Copies of this chain bind each other. A is one copy, B any other.
């Protein structure tokens, strides 16, 4: 089994290192120096694992040979450029997207005729160096068919991922899971980014809890209009997350604290655009969207 992991941030690094234990893994990086570091030193996992994987790596997809599976694991903001780089390559591969939000599959689909799988992941980690990632939350990757694939294809990739030591689950239709995560993310990330609060008890009670509940309700209305039956209630996901373990710092809060661009377009942006297309009013998400966009504008 030949796997290419395209994108070597936290999530891509976790896939690459684990899968290298059960498959032939090559990593497509953005920077040549990153590829060189991986080739020379391997890729170390700490935290929930403690091992160093040997991987091939390059910043040019022409140098990677063919693959059976390409996991497109970059951040959403880098997806269009990465997908363009994949055009004409990996002709016998199935491609799997794992970006947040909506629309990642289509961004890849326009670049080539590969069979496509759709995925979202809940695992998390911290990237300490080009060749060192810490594995923190061992939560699952959810996988479903998208184009020219079926439930058996999704299950085969889920089984491959599980055999590598990560958690994964296949679904006949990913959208109920994808939308549950989208609504959860659009709510928790923007509230954290604007208030500076980690995802803690404030999100589940009192007046901030009321705001979170209102944001979740708007998201549910959009999902219902899109004909999607959520597989988890985002409000319950929120309450559960705030009651277990230490307070998590959502990535959008880390992004604005470091004055970096956020994933607002892919997360809340995709929800607001879908709401507009379906004629559903989402004044609260629209407000959060505008405020985070303005916060990004304040960096300059």
A residues within 8 Å of B by Cβ? 191, 194-197, 202, 207-208, 210-211, 214, 283-284, 286-291, 293-295, 297-298
Contact = CB atoms under 8 A, between A and B. Distances in A.
Contacts of A286: 211
B195 A295 contact: yes
A297 to B, nearest CB: 6
A145 B290 CA distance: 40
Nearest to A253: B298
A196 B295 contact: yes
Given A284-B287, A287-B284, A207 B293 contact: yes
Given A283-B284, A297-B202, A290 B194 contact: no
Contacts of A297: 195, 197, 202, 208
Contact of A195 (B202, B289, B298): B298
A295 B194 contact: yes
A291 B191 contact: yes
25 contacts: A191-B291, A194-B194, A194-B291, A194-B295, A195-B291, A195-B295, A196-B295, A197-B295, A202-B294, A202-B297, A207-B290, A208-B290, A208-B297, A210-B290, A211-B286, A211-B287, A211-B290, A211-B291, A211-B294, A214-B283, A283-B284, A284-B287, A287-B287, A287-B288, A291-B291
A268 to B, nearest CB: 12
Contacts of A191: 291, 294
A194 B287 CA distance: 11
Nearest to A207: B290
Residue from A283, A287, A297 with most neighbouring chain B CB atoms (10 Å) = A287
Contacts of A202: 294, 297
A116 B123 CA distance: 62
A283 B284 CA distance: 8
